[in-house]
Amino acid sequence: MAATVGAQSVIKVAALCGSLRKASFNRGLIRYAVQLVKESAVTGIEIDYVDISPLPMLNTDLEVDGTFPPVVEAFRQKIREADCYLFASPEFNYSITGPLKNAIDWASRPPNVWADKAAAIVSAGGGFGGGRSQYHLRQIGVFLDLHFINKPEFFLNAFQPPEKFDSEGNLIDLPSKERLLEVLVSLKAFTLRLQGKC
Q: Please write the tens of the pLDDT for every residue from 112-147.
A: 999 999 999 999 999 889 999 999 999 999 999 999
DSSP state of 58: P
C-alpha to C-alpha distance for 142 and 147, rounded to whole angstroms: 8
Q: What is the pLDDT of residue 29?
A: 98
C-alpha to C-alpha distance for 100 and 111, rounded to whole angstroms: 19
The tens digit of pLDDT for each residue in 45-94 reads 999 999 999 999 999 999 998 899 999 999 999 999 999 999 999 999 99
DSSP state of 34: H
Q: What is the pLDDT of residue 128?
A: 87
Which secondary structure element, helix H or strand E, spans residue 182, and what is its range? helix 174-194
Q: What is the pLDDT of residue 9?
A: 79
**What is the overall mean pLDDT for the chain?**
94
| CA pseudo-torsion sign 103, 98, 132, 171 | positive
Q: Does residue 158 surpass a pLDDT of 60?
A: yes
* Average pLDDT estimate for 150-162: 95
Q: Identify the band that residue 166 occupies on the pLDDT scale cut at 50, 70 and 90.
A: very high
- Which domains, ranges and CATH numbers included, belong to the chain? 3-194 (3.40.50.360)
